[in-house]
Amino acid sequence: MGDNNYISYQEENGSINISEEVILTIVRAAVTEVEGVASLSTTAGTELAELIGLKSIPKGVTTRFDNNKIITDVIINVSYGNNVVNVAKAVQDSVRSVIQATTGFEDAEVNVHVSGISFER
């Protein structure tokens, strides 16, 4: 974990730095609690990068800080039988809420990408 990036902002009394890994962990936990989410997903590029030994990329969640706004992308698989749009909106609401509650940033953008449907075995 020596290659952590931090989301930083300046306060009157000094700066506040939050590791991106902290936000990713919180977001992953929030997503897995949403009913209808089968799993976090990944892209083919992520899998390829890991196969050739590049830095381990967090599966299913990316985050960045831009103009005092936290922007988060979440890639999920939805369980068969659930309304895809409703599940995606629930993920957006859950992630936005947890980011605002844990970081204090009111401006959080959450992009949900549904990459597949999971069927029970």
Give the fold, CATH level 3, of 20-118.
Alpha-Beta Plaits (3.30.70)
List per-residue pLDDT tens for the chain, 121 residues long. 445 688 777 778 998 888 888 899 999 999 999 999 999 987 655 555 555 554 445 578 988 888 778 999 999 999 999 999 999 999 999 999 999 999 888 889 999 999 999 998 7
Q: What is the CA angle 34-38-41, rounded to 5?
A: 105
> Can you give the pTM of this predicted structure?
0.80
Distance between CA atoms of 118 and 97, rounded to whole angstroms? Answer: 26
CB atoms within 10 A of CB 26: 19
